[in-house]
Every structure is written in C-alpha cells, then in structure tokens.
C-alpha cells in the first residue's frame, strides 16, 4: 500500500510540475529544484539521538549561513574524517567505527547540510564540499572516507580545494555523473522534456558549470593521492557502472568490486581492506 501511495504521489507531483511549466516555468523549476535538493529523511533531534551518538563529544561550526555538526572519537594526531550520504547522518558509521579505531586515529564525522543536527535544507555536492572544507580547516584530517553522495562530495572537494595535506581517500558506492542523478529524478516524477531542460539549466547555473561536465570521474582525474573505490555489482541505488567510471579516471586508486552487499557496503571483509589500505 505504501508503495502505491508513493507512486501516486510522485506521479501527481510530476503532472503538476509539467502543467505549471507551460504557464510559470520559473516557478515550476524552483519547486522541482527544491524538491530535488531537500532531504526528506536523515534529520536528528538532539534530545533523542541514536544510542551510537549519545554522550559522544561534538562541536558545532558556522558553514555559510547555517551550522555544521561534528562528532569526535579521540585518538592520536592522525585524523580520519567521515562523510555520509543522502538522507543519512553520522549514525551510518556505527559498524565501520570499531575498525577505524584499531588504527589509533582520531575519528571525526560530520552531518551533511540538512541532515543529522546540521542546519540548512538544501543539499548538493558543491554545498557539501564547502561543509567538508569547514571541517578540514578545523580538524586537518589525513584521510577522507565518504559514502554515496558523501563520496562524490569528497572527490569534488579534493579536485576543487586541492588539499595538500590530505594523504588518502576512501569512496564507497559513489555516483559519478550528475546527468544520471537528474535523469533518475525526472524518471521518478515522470517529468517532461521541457522540465528536464529547465532543471538541467538550473543546475548548470547553480554549479557555474554545464551539468554534462559535472562528473566525479572528470574531477577524479585531478586527484593525485592514493584512493580506494568500493562499489557493489548489485547496488540498486547507484549503478555499478558509476563506480567503474570513477575508477577508470582516478589513476592512483584501487577498485574493489563486491557482490551482494548492496548500496550500504557494510561488510567485515571490506572494512578489513580499508584498514589495510589506511595502514599501508
């Protein structure tokens, strides 16, 4: 029943936007972009945090007009920064954290814009990278680990901000081409070609770059540090081919293919490989 209701809701929204695009194209585009960029899940309430995050030291910083929430597991001077994905929050790292703590490192995790306890409501790779930069300036990590859109944001961050102190990066289940992300959204809502053009133009203006050029594979070509890219063949959220594109472009990265783990990639063997890479 829930699936049917969701299907009817998305198609109704799409029909409304398609109709509005002929009379008020700017308004239709604004609504479509807002729906695309605003996470529906992933927010947390400070008085009702998951057990994993209760009693964990945290710090809050300003990032643009909003705030960035960070969590810290203290260790030595070597810092690892964790960057979660769309409609998630810092709690997604609960299974990986014990493995990372074996390295003795200080672990820092951030909540993305509009997620967890961080402020804002708009979410995209460019904005997320600016939040990563705020955390990097504060904690000076040697390693970035990102999942899904968080992995894409890590790639974009290093490509654009060129952090000379970053030593390694781990990217889990990340998408490459923004055109595919937008196309999936268009398909979900059954938007017409007119609305698709409007949306692509809105993203191009937002990113100051043609959307066809906004590719993590293209950005990965600029990255010199060693990396690991992990992607599952049965990932139903981000197609396996997206990981292949990034791996083909990033010359100093190892591509780890998994099967049966899906998009989450929670797996002891994968985590052991990550730890081995970080210690390497």
- Whose tokens are 């904690």? That residue is 139
H/E segment holding residue 104: none
DSSP secondary-structure letter at 265? -
Q: From 109, 237, 110, 88, select the one nearest 175 (Cα to Cα).
A: 237
b/e sequence 173-197, b meaning 16+ C-beta within 10 Å: bbbbbbbbbbeebbeebebbeebbe
Residue 130 contacts residue 136 (beta carbons within 8 Å):
no
Is pLDDT of 11 > 90?
Answer: no
pLDDT tens sequence across 204-227: 888 888 888 899 999 999 999 999
Predicted confidence (pLDDT) per residue in 131-155, tens digit: 999 999 999 999 999 999 999 999 9
Distance, in Å, from the CA atom of 229 to the CA atom of 41, rounded to the nearest integer, reads: 26
Residues of the chain with CATH 3.40.50.1820: 44-177+215-279
> Residue 3: pLDDT band by 50, 70, 90 thresholds?
low
Quote the strand ranges of 181-242, DSSP E.
227-232
List, for residues 237-257, the tens digit of each pLDDT value.
999 999 999 999 999 999 999
Cβ atoms of 70 and 110 closer than 8 Å? yes
CB neighbourhood size of 124 (10 A): 21
Mean pLDDT of 68-94: 97
Name the strand (E) or helix (H) holding 18. helix 2-23
Closest CA to 37 of 87, 93, 108, 1: 87
Report the pLDDT value the prediction gives residue 5, as an integer from 0 to 100. 72
Beta strands in 19-87 (DSSP E): 58-63, 66-73, 79-83
Residue 7 has pLDDT above 90, yes or no: no
CB distance 166 to 222 below 8 Å: no
Helix (H, G, I), strand (E, B) or coil at 86: coil
Q: How would CATH label the architecture of 44-177+215-279?
A: 3-Layer(aba) Sandwich (3.40)
């Amino acid at each position: 029943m829930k699936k049917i209701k969701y299907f009817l809701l998305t198609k109704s929204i799409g029909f409304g936007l398609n109709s509005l695009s002929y009379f008020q194209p700017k308004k239709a585009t604004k609504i479509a972009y807002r729906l695309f960029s605003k996470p529906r899940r992933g927010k947390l309430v400070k008085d009702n945090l998951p057990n994993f995050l209760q009693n964990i030291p945290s710090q809050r910083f300003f990032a643009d007009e909003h705030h960035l929430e960070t969590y810290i597991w203290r260790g030595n001077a070597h810092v690892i920064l964790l960057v979660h994905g769309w409609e998630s929050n810092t709690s997604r790292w609960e299974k990986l954290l014990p493995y990372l703590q074996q390295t003795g490192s200080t672990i820092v995790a951030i909540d993305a814009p509009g997620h967890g306890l961080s402020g804002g409501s708009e979410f995209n790779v460019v904005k997320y990278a600016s939040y990563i930069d705020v955390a990097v300036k504060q904690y000076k990590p040697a390693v970035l680990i990102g999942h899904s859109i968080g992995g894409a944001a890590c790639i974009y961050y290093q490509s654009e901000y060129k952090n000379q102190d970053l030593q390694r990066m781990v990217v889990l289940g990340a998408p490459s081409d923004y055109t595919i992300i937008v196309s999936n959204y268009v398909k979900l809502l059954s938007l017409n070609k007119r609305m698709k053009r409007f949306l692509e133009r809105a993203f191009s203006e937002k990113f100051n770059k043609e959307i066809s050029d906004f590719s993590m594979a293209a950005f990965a070509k600029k990255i010199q540090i060693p990396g690991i890219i992990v992607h599952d063949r049965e990932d139903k959220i981000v197609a396996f081919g997206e990981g292949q594109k990034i791996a083909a472009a990033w010359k100093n990265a190892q591509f780890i293919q998994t099967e049966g783990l899906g998009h989450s990639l929670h797996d002891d063997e994968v985590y052991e490989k990550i730890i081995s890479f970080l210690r390497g």
